[in-house]
């Protein structure tokens, strides 16, 4: 029975995408990318001083609804800077989720802070407000406008929820809870550009947010990221830190602190500007694809992961649940052998050797999901490419 359903899955995937080999998610070009890249080359401004960087920052910030955008070389760099300007320092603790890509916890570790892993919700695959309240009421104390761990005495310097696969977490509840306990909220929105809670875009609930434009994201700059914020001072500090902390001057090189060479090059920003032109159409097509997969799930023996009521995911990577780990592994092995890419969720961070000694709340749901989640092909089908090509 399982093999028959997997055959049906492969058949449907080929029907949808019209290809023999079907990747999990690939970028689409063919709009103004070549034109904008050529303009950069002809101007000789190919590094971070080019005008396209500022234009891309403005385009993303306006789309999201944030006052400022600061472009970086990748999403991890954006997270690193966000944590620093939020005031996270060595020895602090940062509340996060174990069910995430490694970049979330790597950025915390760059500073010398330590992740504390709180469980996720089944409906969002993301940070659970219920689990967070339970942990804070047991382990945290508020003193002089900061939260501290009753267990270690360390300051709880930030909370970093991640919108997994573009599914919005219960971010309003998390924001209220963080405010109650005086913990800065930093959104890891790396995967959720275009996702909304009501009419509000993800990446606008925290004091600072970080996006990624890696090659497999909903729009790509090849490699790139962005920090967004409404706070003028946070934006100033983030821009300063990400440009090697160089003081503005026409010709002198003076740096007033240790900074980072994290600014996005003009070439990458040019690519991103062209990609942003097609984002609304991309979101429409991916919603249609998600609806088709969702409708097929019952017959395929799969459970569609439904976004919570009132939220609108960007459907970056579609995800389903299977019966158990054995069924997950059978599906992964069979589909990939047939040239249809599927993948499991990441190995949870607390199961990696370098994070194995971090505090956790038990992570029951995290481990349950890790055994059952499978990502399925989510690219724009070739027969829909024409809808993504703007008039030049």
Q: What is the pLDDT of residues 288-322, one digit of tens each?
A: 999 999 999 999 999 999 999 999 999 999 999 99
pLDDT at 242 over 50: yes
Q: pLDDT above 70 covers what percent of the chain?
A: 99
Position 388 scores a pLDDT of: 83
Position 49 scores a pLDDT of: 83
Task: State the pairing for strand pair 311-312/303-304.
Answer: unpaired
**Would the pTM count as exceeding 0.85?**
yes
Return d(Cα 47, Cα 267) in angstroms, integer: 7
Return d(Cα 363, Cα 379) in angstroms, integer: 31
Q: Which residues pair with 297 in a beta bridge?
A: none
Return d(Cα 8, Cα 321) in angstroms, integer: 17
Q: What is the pLDDT of residues 349-381, one digit of tens each?
A: 999 999 999 999 999 999 999 999 999 999 999
Residue 31 main-chain phi, psi, to 5 deg: -90, -120
Nearest to 50 by CA among 265, 222, 261, 240: 265
Position 46 scores a pLDDT of: 85
Structure tokens at 323: 């019966």
pLDDT at 391 over 80: no
Q: Quick one: three-class SS letters along the chain?
A: CHHHHHHHHHHHHHHHHCCCCECCCCCCCCCCHHHHHHHHHHHCCCCCCCHHHHHHHHHHHHHHCCCEEEEECCHHHHHHHHHHHCCCCCCCEEEEECCCCHHHHHHHHHHCCEEEEECECCCCCCECHHHHHHHHHHHEEEECCEEEECCCCCEEEEEECECHHHCCCCHHHHHHHHHHCCCCEEEECCCCCCCEECCEECCCCCCEEEEECCCCCCCCCCCCEEEEECCHHHHHHHHHHHECCECCCCCCCCECCCCCECECCHHHHHHHHHHHHCHHHHHHHHHHHHHHHHHHHHHHCCEECCCCCCEECCCCCEEEECCCHHHHHHHHHHHHHCCECCEECCCCHHHCHHHCCCCECCCHHHHHHHCCEEEECCCCCHHHHHHHCCCC
What domains appear along the chain, each with residue ranges and CATH number? 2-27+279-388 (3.90.1150.10), 33-277 (3.40.640.10)
**Across the chain, what does the average pLDDT equal?**
95
Task: State the pairing for strand pair 208-212/186-188.
Answer: parallel
Return d(Cα 295, Cα 343) in angstroms, integer: 21
Q: Which residues pair with 181 in a beta bridge?
A: none
Q: Which residues pair with 127 in a beta bridge?
A: 120
Structure tokens at 52: 């396209």
- Side by side, which strands form the sheet with 196-197? 200-201, 196-197, 311-312
pLDDT band with cut points at 50, 70 and 90 for residue 127: very high
Position 314 scores a pLDDT of: 98
Return d(Cα 205, Cα 198) in angstroms, integer: 12
Expressed in angstroms, the distance from the first to the final Cα of the chain is: 50
Nearest to 215 by CA among 201, 225, 207, 203: 225
Mean pLDDT of the 122-143 span: 97
Position 2 scores a pLDDT of: 64
**Segment among 27-36, 150-159, 199-208 with least mean pLDDT:** 27-36
Q: What is the pLDDT of residues 6-43, one digit of tens each?
A: 999 999 999 999 989 999 999 999 889 999 999 999 98
Return d(Cα 134, Cα 370) in angstroms, integer: 22
**Residue pair 388/28 in contact by the 8 Å Cβ criterion:** yes
């Amino acid at each position: 029975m399982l093999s028959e359903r997997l055959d049906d899955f492969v058949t449907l995937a080929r029907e949808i995408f019209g290809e023999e080999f079907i990747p999990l998610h690939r970028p689409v070009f063919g709009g103004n990318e070549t034109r904008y890249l050529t303009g950069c080359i002809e101007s000789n401004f190919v590094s971070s001083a080019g005008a396209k960087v500022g234009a891309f920052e403005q385009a993303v910030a306006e789309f999201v609804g944030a006052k400022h955008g600061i472009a970086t070389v990748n999403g991890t760099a954006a997270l690193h800077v966000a944590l620093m300007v939020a005031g996270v320092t060595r020895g602090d603790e940062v509340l996060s989720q174990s069910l995430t890509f490694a970049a979330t916890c790597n950025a915390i570790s760059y500073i010398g802070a330590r992740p504390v892993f709180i469980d996720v919700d089944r409906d969002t695959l993301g940070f659970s407000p219920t689990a967070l309240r339970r942990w804070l009421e047991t382990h945290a104390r508020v003193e002089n406008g900061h939260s501290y761990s009753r267990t270690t005495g360390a300051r709880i310097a930030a909370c970093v929820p991640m919108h997994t696969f573009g599914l919005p977490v219960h971010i309003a509840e998390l924001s209220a809870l963080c405010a109650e306990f005086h913990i800065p909220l930093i959104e890891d929105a790396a995967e959720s550009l275009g996702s909304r809670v009501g009419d509000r875009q993800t990446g606008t609930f925290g004091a600072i947010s970080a996006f990624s434009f890696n090659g497999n994201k909903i729009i790509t700059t090849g490699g790139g990221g962005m920090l967004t914020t409404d706070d003028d001072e946070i934006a100033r500090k983030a821009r300063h830190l990400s440009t090697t902390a160089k003081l503005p001057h026409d010709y002198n090189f003076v740096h007033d602190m240790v900074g980072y060479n994290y600014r996005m090059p003009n070439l990458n920003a040019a690519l991103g500007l062209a990609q942003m032109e097609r984002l609304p159409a991309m979101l429409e097509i991916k919603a249609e694809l998600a609806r088709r997969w969702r409708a097929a799930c019952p017959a395929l023996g799969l459970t569609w992961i439904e976004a919570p009521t009132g939220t609108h995911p960007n459907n970056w990577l579609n995800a389903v649940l299977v019966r158990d780990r054995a069924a997950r592994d059978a599906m992964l092995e069979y589909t990939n052998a047939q040239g249809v890419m599927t993948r499991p969720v990441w190995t949870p961070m607390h199961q990696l050797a370098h994070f194995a000694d971090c505090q956790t709340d038990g992570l029951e749901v995290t481990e349950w999901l890790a055994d059952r989640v499978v990502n399925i092909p989510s690219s724009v089908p070739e027969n829909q490419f024409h809808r993504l090509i703007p008039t030049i």
